[in-house]
Structure 1
Amino acid sequence: MAPLGPAERVFVSETFLGSVHGQLACTTCHGGNSNTPLTKEAKAAAHAATADFVALPSEQFDVYCSACHSDITTKFETSLHYTQNGFYERFKIRAGGMDLRTDANMKAGFDADCAKCHAACGQCHVIRPVSVNSGLEQAHQFYRTPSLVNNCTACHGSRVGEEFRGLHRGEEGYENVKEADVHYNKGMNCMACHPADEMHGDGNLYPYRYVENESFVAQCTDCHPDVLDTNTENLYHTTHVQGNTTLQCQICHSQTYKSCNGCHVGEGITGSSYPTFKIGKNYLKNTSSFRTTDFALVRHIPIAPDTYHNWNGSISLTTFDNAPTWKYTTPHNIQRWTFLTDTSGTAWCGQTCHDSHDEILLKRSDVDSTYLDDELRANEPVFTD
């Protein structure tokens, strides 16, 4: 995304000054010294005070936001958006239980290389996220609903944003991508499926982004309950949703999506992303109360046994193979008619799906890695052969 210009980054509108938050003095949230002339030369003095200047007050939301929004902040402090607990817990699984928060070198490396995606209140409701160079999004006005492009997919753009908006159309390998996600084409934004309660958290500290709380996590059947109707006239739903072998909805209704290669901290991703569409065994089935289908789409993630070695010179993921590198995924590129469901010109869906097993089922031969043995062991619960 194009960065905001220098003036756009800092301009405060008169509209903000008349708002509820604009009634507060600048120093109430930002500190600094208001008794300085409005000149370029006085900038340093204005930003200095007995209390340090606070550029991002909502990073301390318990101080600056909780007085009016305690119903949200008390839950947000344990949310995945704020704590990034999913990263820490995934790391522990692959590192033999080591908690990188207890090792000073590891924590410093994480903060420098990975923590930029951490979000506080302001990065969704006032500014563009820090990870995309920040800047005031609406001239310091506070907005209730984050912008799909300038807030949500500014952080979640590489996969979710590109797929949701259909940006891969016409690219090599994405020939099956015909449209943007049907929900995007109908004008729906992220909040339609991921409301504030989910983003702010429910007070629980979850170990993973696939939160185990059926009550506030978006599910296809929330809006499409008819697929669970035992009297449905749709033979495909009866067979694949209610039959002996069940499929995740995205298997039939997603288009080609992106996977990545190994990522080495300090060196970047070793290789470019590439288009995939792979069905694997659902290794979450026995650990989830509602992700219980037998098969699901999987996406390769950029992790390798020596990913973090440069943080302290020797760290390696000693239990790397305790978690798959082809992970359960929920692509945001939904269409009713996809290259698997469109049976026009064919006798039955078997000609586009069941007869294409070699291409769309994840098998051991799909693993081509510098760390082949590690990856083969890691993905044992996912392989279909």
Structure 2
Amino acid sequence: MWRVLLLVLAAGLLFGGPAWGASGCLRCHEGIKKIAENPVMGRLSCVFCHRGNPEGRTKEEAHQGLWSNPSDLRVVDQTCGQCHGEIVTRLKKSLHATSAGIISAARYTWGAQKTRRALYAPYPVRDEDGHIPGQRGALPELQALPLYDPQRPIGPTNHPVDDYLRAECLRCHIWTRGKERPGDYRSSGCAACHVIYADDGLYRGEDPTIPKDEPGHPRLHRITTRIPVFQCQHCHNRGGRTGVSYMGMMESDGYCSPWSGKAGVKAGRKLHGKCYNHLVPDIHYERGLACIDCHLEPEIHGDGNIYSKKDEAVEIECEDCHGTVKSPAPLRTSRGTSYPNLKRKGSRVILIGKLDGREHPVPQVQEVVQRNRQAAVAMEIPSHARKLECYACHAVWAPQCYGCHAQQNLAEKAGDWLRYGKSADESLTGREKNRLKTAHHWRETRSYLRWESPALGWNAEGKVAPYIPGCQVIFTQIGPDGKPRFLNHIFKTAQGTWGIASNPIQPHTVRPRARSCEDCHANPKALGLGTGLYRADWNGVPFPYGLDQIVTPEGRPIQAVSHDGARPFNGKELRRILRVNICASCHGFMRDPEFWKKVVDRNGRAPDDATHRKVLRHLLRDSVR
């Protein structure tokens, strides 16, 4: 970095030089904010990042060779990479750049590939650093996603799912600027996160050359590491929907209620192309924590490896900060990464907010169980501590979008999020308006939405976690002649399950008061058995179950799960979980686990329901004698 700074000094390109002063860029851009205040970046000239010609007498002359977004991944090696080369190298291999989880999940559930592992990315990427930890799921390379040609037979390298990804899903990766509409405005490359955009995409600065009423500009000409939640939300509003869920937002059915004060006009505000219901937010958001307060730099920029799924890239766990019943918080991840904003202050754990600088006390599980015996009963059950994610109980709701009906129209062309026309400004290549129309037109509808009592099952880490639909695609393809080639078709996976999917997730909807015992042990929906109320086949979908059912009562998986190692409960597990509810009906009032340990030690445990009923009959007869 200091070598680069010396080069900058030698070139006379520092703040205060000709590129910045009255004879340079500020002749037109007077009032624009400096890009940063820190000692290095705060002194860089405009042209060090943006290039151009500060001595130009006209706009055309001054902007010759200009890069509007110097952090775009097409040019970043010559800009941000000069000082932050190691981070840029990692970033290009990160899930933010590869979207490998979205691509691999969609292709697996549509039957386009046999493996759940990632094979493709928006653009080819290879890990050349010689360190590929396969035990963590790391991959050596990803190929470019294939194009779909409807004139050729469907197969692993020619499948409509790739067209779907190109036309719809892949707007959220940092090679592109994404959709340019309320809630989705952002930049590409490093600036996708580090330059803040308002939801309306309007500029709030003092540069007279930037229109204040033209959406598509950052709030200010400013780069920052203090990234607010709504910035992350510009991308994290589909798929797992964790960005909007964290703030307590769940998309509505599209009515955009309530009414406004004007006759016939709705008051609902659309973001990300959707209207929202507002539910209870995650307790961490409610207490003032941003995404960056928990998520670590190697998770966001990547740790240098190519991964298939988020669970492989994400290091953090609830226990890192909150500890367990038996041990205090380690304040580091299982991979050894420390939390820079966590510290011990006497007997307390304190988190320093990265946005507000405030001290946030972090409750410790050991303290909670001492104060709350009911919580202690749940947390001190050995199988709970060993087998459940904390958020299996504490995520009290999760977004559930059932039945994604996707229609492809081969008679109409649409923009491809991976292919762009040539742009005079290379750094703006990834804008929506520059997309080539090499994909086909798609429309989406859905069957219904829910948020209550998400299903549970095993995640890829071998723990029980919430499951949500993701993604339950029911495919229709309309040919150039206007006739359907596929009608409400569901693909099958290589494992033989239906291609509509439900997957484990951390919903980011944590509350201090957890789901009740009955909501897991007595609720068929929570166990993946569905409500029994919705009949997909009666609604024109060739699926002989409810869309909220992921497993049969015998434990046979029905829906696809696109994470290696994740699965619904099997038959034996379902019977045991349900049996606990029968026990809880009588034993629930006895909140002392030590008491029940003595009972079991003295009398043993009934090995089956028949023996248990025999004991109950004996007790009841004794009670009336």
Note whether the superposition's TM-score is higher than 0.5. Answer: yes
DSSP 3-state at the match of 2:234:
helix
**Structure 2 partner of 1:221:** 319
- Separation of aligned partners in 1, 2:468 and 2:288: 27
- Cα distance between partner residues in 2 of 1:306 and 1:11: 53
1:378 to 559, 579, 589: 559
- Pick from 192, 212, 227 the counterpart of residue 123 of structure 1: 192
Cα distance 1:170–1:62, how it changes in 2: closer, same or farther (>3 A)? closer
Indicate which of 74, 78, 86 corresponds to 2:93. 78
2:462 partner amino acid = T
Classify 1:78/1:168 alpha carbon distance in 2 versus 1 (closer, same or farther; 3 Å): closer
Distance across 2 between alignment mates of 1:308 and 1:196 = 42
Q: 1:255 aligns with which of 396, 419, 432?
A: 396
**Residue 90 of structure 2 contacts residue 301 of structure 2 at CA under 8 Å; is this kept in 1?**
yes
RMSD: 4.1
Distance change (3 Å), C-alpha of 1:371 and 1:221: farther
Aligned residue number for residue 287 of structure 2: 186
Higher relative contact order (CA closer than 8 Å, sequence separation 6+): 1
State whether residues 123 and 130 of structure 1, in contact with CA within 8 Å, keep that contact through their aligned partners in structure 2: no
Residue of structure 2 equivalent to 1:7 = none
Counterpart CA distance in 1 for 2:442 and 2:244 is 24
Q: Tell me what 2:235 maps to.
A: 155
Deviation at 1:299, TM superposition (A): 0.5
Matching of residue 362 in structure 1 with residue 528 in structure 2 = yes
Q: Distance in 2 between matches of 1:15 and 1:115?
A: 33
Q: Residue 71 of structure 2: which of 58, 61, 64 is its match?
A: 58
2:113 to 92, 96, 100: 96
Q: Identity over aligned residues, as a percent?
A: 22
* Structure 1 match to 2:462: 292
Structure 2 CA distance for partners of 1:131 and 1:124, relative to 1, 3 Å = farther
- Tell me the residue number matched to 2:84: 69
Counterpart position of 1:16: 35
Deviation readout 1:26-61 (Å, 9 max, x if unpaired): 344334444444xxxx545544x3x4x433321232
Secondary structure, aligned partner of 1:141 = coil
1:142 to 219, 223, 226: 223
Residue among 141, 151, 164 paired with 2:246: 164
User: Structure 1 residues 148 and 17, CA, compared in 2 at 3 Å: closer, same or farther?
Assistant: closer
Seen in structure 2, the aligned counterparts of structure 1 residues 59 and 243 have a Cα distance that, compared at 3 Å, is: closer
Q: What are the residue-to-residue correspondences of 1:227-376 with 2, within 5 Å?
A: 227-228=325-326, 234-239=376-381, 241-242=383-384, 246-260=387-401, 261-262=403-404, 264=406, 266-271=441-446, 273-282=449-458, 284=459, 288=460, 291-293=461-463, 295-304=464-473, 306=475, 319=493, 321=497, 325-338=501-514, 340-341=515-516, 349-350=517-518, 353-355=520-522, 357-363=523-529, 365=532, 368=536, 370-372=541-543
- More helix by proportion, 1 or 2? 1
Give 3-state SS (helix, strand or coil) of 2:35's partner.
helix
Task: State the shift of 1:222 in Å.
Answer: 0.8
Deviations 1:289-325 (A, max 9, x none): xx222x3211012342538999xx9899563748761
CA distance in 2, matches of 1:12, 1:276: 50
Q: Distance in 1 between matches of 2:526 and 2:89?
A: 44
Distance 1:130 1:183, change over 3 A: closer
- Structure 2 gap ranges (5+): 1-28, 122-143, 149-157, 175-188, 202-214, 258-277, 328-364, 371-375, 409-440, 551-557, 562-566, 575-625
CA change 1:58–1:242 in 2 (3 A) is same
Is the CA contact 2:396–2:452 (under 8 Å) kept in the aligned structure 1? no
SS of the aligned residue for 2:503 comes to: strand
**Secondary structure of 1:337 counterpart:** coil
Aligned residue type for 2:244: E
Give the superposition deviation at 1:134. Answer: 4.5
Give the aligned residue type for 2:291.
C
Mapped to 2, the partners of 1:74 and 1:26 lie a distance apart of: 24
Distance 1:25 1:208 in 2: 39
Distance 1:76 1:205 in 2: 10
Asked if the contact 1:169/1:179 (under 8 Å) is kept, the reply is: no
Q: TM-score, normalised by structure 2?
A: 0.47
Q: Is the 8 A contact 2:392 2:456 kept in 1?
A: no
Aligned residues: 340
Q: Please report the TM-score for the alignment, with normalisation by the length of structure 1.
A: 0.72
Choose which of 290, 293, 296 in structure 2 pairs with 1:195.
Answer: 296
CA distance in 2, matches of 1:129, 1:109: 29
Q: Distance in 2 between matches of 1:371 and 1:45?
A: 62
Q: Distance in 2 between matches of 1:68 and 1:125?
A: 16
Q: Please identify, of 374-383 and 297-306, the stretch whose mean Cα deviation from structure 2 is larger.
A: 374-383
Pairwise CA distance, 1:125: 0.7
Structure 1: runs of 5+ lacking an equivalent: 1-9, 342-348
Task: Report the alpha carbon displacement of residue 152 of structure 1 after superposing the two structures with TM.
Answer: 0.9
Instruction: Please tell me the residue identity of whatever aligns with 1:218.
Output: I
Q: 1:82 to 1:17 in 2, by over 3 A?
A: closer
Match of 2:72, SS state, is helix
Q: Is the 8 A contact 1:300 1:325 kept in 2?
A: yes
Structure 1 residue 131, shift from structure 2 partner: 12
Spell out the pairing of 1:29-44 with structure 2 (5 A cutoff). Answer: 29-37=49-57, 43=59
Instruction: Describe the superposition over 1:128-186 as per-residue Cα deviations: whole angstroms up to 9, x where unpaired.
Output: 3999775223x21111121211x1112213532332223459999xxxx9742111122
